[in-house]
Amino acid sequence: MREGRNGGKLKNGGNNGGGRPKKLPPIDILMAEVLGEEKDGITAAQAILNMLRGKAAKGDIRAAQLLYV
């Protein structure tokens, strides 16, 4: 065990524990995996677009902007 500033013992010895966190996969790969998942024969991307289209048809300006910009 290592000693701390005030003479007390440090539990982990002052090392880096688990080290640096692992990197995430690139965002395009993550998006492709998530948006490509199917439920009830429809992909997540299709479900999102259908939801936005419905909201835009009901007058949601932000949904319309996302679809038509």
DSSP string, 56-69: HHTT-HHHHHHHH-
Distance CA 18, CA 21 (A): 8
pLDDT tens figures, 20-44:
888 888 999 999 999 999 999 999 9
What's the rounded Cα separation, in Å, for the pair 69 and 53? 13
Q: Express as a percent the part of the chain with pLDDT over 90.
A: 61
56, 55, 32: which is closest to 45 by C-alpha?
32
pTM: 0.59
Tens digit of each residue's pLDDT (9 = 90 or more) over 41-68: 999 999 999 999 999 999 999 999 999 8
Could you give the C-alpha distances from 44 to 15, 38, 55, in angstroms and in order? 43, 6, 17
